[in-house]
Chains A and B, each alone.
Chain A
Amino acid sequence: MSERRIKSIFIATGSIFLFLFIITPIFWMIVISFSKDITFLTGGVYQFSLSNYITIITSKSLHMIDYLKNSLVVASITSPIVLIISSFSAYAITRINFAGRRIIPLLVLSISIFPQISIVGYLYRWMGNLGWINSYVALVLPYLAWTSPLALWILLSYFSQIPKELDSAALIDGAKRPKILFRIILPLASPAVLSGLLLVFIACFNEFLFALMLTSDYGAQTVSVGISLFQGLHGEIPWGELMAASFFVTFPLILLTFLFQKFIIEGLTTGAIKG
């Protein structure tokens, strides 16, 4: 058989495998979320039902809406602040020759491999002493630091492609640096900024260990903690409700990802390749 033929076969089987590989858990989550009773695989009958969704949305004691609210608040506060802070740093690093210009990116990058467990213990103590356990502040502040490598790397790689002549021209005209950053550079780098905002936003939703240890109840617990500790309302195994809650959260995240996939992929891969 020619190489072409073999190739076609591999492409066909490979695609099917990849498709099934990715979609099966998602598909299963959706199936279970809409089923009344999960025993349908062992002799029961599959019954389509919306009751799981209704339960998790309307049942106050499950606090699903609270968890969502908390995640949204924390993510929405963190992303813009991180982007602003990181753009200042990215600007300085790519445009000004100062000592530490090479070290800071390295430092920030190395943070992305730190184990969270090595950080959370001390943070927990500190937040406890300040009485900030189970508050938004307790989450936002560590998240700012934790997601900064993500934002910084995207901005760095984009900023470095913007010619410095633009700055020089503006400086000669008498503009101040911050103004240059906000009026000239950021608009030019808007794809990067958008990627950064998205990636940080999604990362805040995804974060688990800090939230697990720095919050104690629905007052500040995020969606990831809520789902990991989820106890249903009925029956011995609340899988239906749990999957409904899961899909409820993942659907918008997947939607966001699809809509902005170009930005996200660029953001994820530039960091790795340039590094």
Chain B
Amino acid sequence: MKNIKVLICLLLFVTACQKAPKFTFMVGGSPNALLYWQKVIKEFEAQKGIKVELIRLPADTEQRRQRIVIPLQAEASDPDVFLMDVIWVGMIAGARWLEPLNYYITRDNFDINRFFKRVIEDVDTFKHKIIALPVYVDGGLLYYRKDLLSKYGYREPPSTWETLVNMAKQIQRKERAQNKAFWGFVWQGAMYEGLICTFLEFCASGNGGIFFNPSGKIKLDTRENQKALEFMVRLIHQEGISPPNTFTELKEEEVRLIFQHRNALFERNWPYAWILHQQSSLKGKVGITQLPHFEGGKTASTLGGWHIGISKFSDVKEMAWEFVKFVTSFEQQKKFVLELSWNPGRSDIYQDSEIREKMPHLIVLKNVFENAVTRPVSPYYSQISQVIQRHINAALALKETPNEALKKAQTEIDQLFAYYEN
């Protein structure tokens, strides 16, 4: 009996010992990115004298979200600061798990205008309060083989989709003579979040899109969107310039490798691929530009990237804010560019002379980011995304016609809306 009492006391004692406030920062990514974050933290600790605990998360983005949601939903005091994928900010903000930053911004004269306006307005603002800041941004780009275009007499990359199709068909036919595995245009069509990015780009470049209209609903089955989807199906099944495994297997790395192994003329991918292409045998042969658009539309690029926020339940909010300021400062953001090739959310970095010299391609990106299209920012975005993914992929697989796919997706989205917005 006595032993039991002792044990229970021990239990409670051990539990109590864990309750001292600590400043924790949750971030995930590849091992070398995490290694760099440790350097950032060391510098911060040296400069400000504030100790930060790094909690490493897996590279898998779904697992990262799970590890953040679990403590937030339980209103735990840790983690204090964390990174969020642009598509979750809506959910985390909507759940009121983020500390509004306006007070700190005004108090410390923090210049919010240095950041991309679109990004701040569309992603980082919730009910007129700023609840996050961009750490880095991403947008879809068109990669092309400069050498092949000039070989066949083209001076410039295509600015419309039709031009792209024509160039791709012609060059693919000729190149197939030596290389049976050559494709005109590779892009991400597998059933995952990346498909939404690609689909959105096609839609928005023809005046369509996935967004909340003034009455607060998403109207997906519009004529413009159907045209875009029909075009995507055409690329694979009629023009034959995109491979048949586009909708089963192609994600970012698969697409990049096809292009990098000299088996593609055009590639739709994120900026990260640039450095990797330049380090391969394709050095100097690759160009990047904005994505083409449909006749009468304009170029569109889906916004990606990661944002930093402070937990509403943090027990060290002042210190957390210092860290957020540090990470989004000019010096640190510049280092992110130089060390990890990340694209900063601050537009002033792009004007810096050293950056312009070392990373000339960033100028193209600046334009892209200023006009990027965001996916709908909503607390239940991931459910919307799943619905759209399923039907777009079914259309690409010829299991549904584009018309059917969009209509079915619309019905399911309306049901989601009714469920979540009542």
A touches B (Cβ under 8 A): yes
A interface residues, Cβ below 8 angstroms from B: 61-62, 73, 77, 80-81, 84, 124, 127-128, 131-137, 140, 178, 213, 216-220, 229-236, 238
B46 at the interface (CB under 8 A from A): no
List the A side residues contacting B54 at CB < 8 Å.
61
* CB proximity to A under 8 Å, residues B254-287: none
Q: Which of A61, A81, A178 contacts B7 (CB 8 A)?
A: A81
Complex interface residues of chain B between 41 and 74 (CB less than 8 A to chain A): 54-59, 63, 67, 70-71, 73-74
Asked whether B38 is an interface residue with its Cβ less than 8 Å from the other chain, the reply is: yes
On chain B, the number of residues with a Cβ less than 8 Å from chain A's Cβ atoms is: 35
Residues of B within 8 A of A (CB): 1, 3-4, 7, 10-12, 14-15, 18, 24, 26, 28, 30-32, 34-35, 38, 54-59, 63, 67, 70-71, 73-76, 78-79
Check B55 against A134 for contact (C-beta < 8 Å).
Answer: no
Task: Pick the residue among A81, A134, A234 that contacts B31 (CB under 8 A).
Answer: A234
Whether B28 lies near A231 (C-beta < 8 A) is yes
Closest to B64 in A: A229
Q: Find the A residue at minimum CB distance from B16.
A: A135
Contact residues in B for A133 (Cβ distance below 8 Å): 70-71, 74, 76
Supposing A136-B11, A236-B30 touch, asked if A219 and B18 sit within 8 A by C-beta, the answer is yes
Distance to closest chain A CB from B40 (angstroms) = 13
When distances are taken between beta carbons in the complex, the residues of chain B under 8 Å from A235 are 31
Given A61-B54, A81-B7, do A128 and B28 touch, yes or no (CB 8 Å)?
no
- 19 A–B pairs (Cβ distance < 8 Å), ordered by A: A73-B14, A77-B7, A77-B14, A81-B4, A134-B78, A136-B14, A140-B11, A178-B1, A216-B67, A216-B70, A216-B76, A229-B58, A229-B63, A231-B28, A231-B31, A232-B31, A233-B31, A234-B35, A236-B30
Q: Which residues of the other chain, B, contact A233 by a CB distance below 8 angstroms?
A: 31, 34-35
- List 19 additional contacts besides A80-B7, A217-B79; criterion CB under 8 Å: A77-B7, A77-B11, A84-B3, A124-B70, A124-B74, A127-B74, A128-B75, A134-B78, A137-B12, A216-B74, A219-B18, A229-B63, A231-B34, A231-B56, A231-B57, A233-B31, A234-B32, A235-B31, A236-B30
**A residues near B10, Cβ cutoff 8 Å:** 77
Nearest B residue to A85, CB-CB: B4
Counting chain B CB atoms within 10 Å of each CB, the highest count among A80, A127, A137, A220 belongs to: A137
**With A and B bound together, what is the CA distance between A77 and B38 in angstroms?**
34
Q: Which residues of B contact A232 (CB under 8 A)?
A: 31
Q: Are B63 and A218 in contact (CB under 8 A)?
A: no
The docked-state distance in angstroms from the alpha carbon of A238 to that of B258 is 25
The answer to whether A217 touches B55, judged by C-beta atoms less than 8 angstroms apart, is yes
Is there an interface contact between A217 and B24, defined as CB atoms closer than 8 Å?
Answer: yes
What's the Cα separation between A77 and B70 when bound, in Å? 25
Nearest residue, chain A, Cβ from B68: A216
Asked if residues A236 and B15 are in contact (CB atoms below 8 Å), the reply is no
Q: Which residues of B contact A236 (CB under 8 A)?
A: 30-31
Interface pair B74/A128, CB less than 8 Å apart: yes
Q: How far, in whole Å, are A218 and B53 apart by their CA atoms in the complex?
A: 11
Task: List A contacts of B14 (CB < 8 A).
Answer: 73, 77, 136
Residues of B within 8 A of A132 (CB): 15
By Cβ-Cβ distance, the 5 closest A-B pairs, closest first, are A128-B74, A216-B71, A133-B74, A137-B15, A217-B55
| Closest residue of B by beta carbon distance from A217 | B55
In the bound complex, CA of A219 to CA of B71 (Å): 13
Smallest CB separation, A82 vs chain B (Å): 11
Residues of B within 8 A of A135 (CB): 15, 18
A216-B11 in contact (CB<8A): no
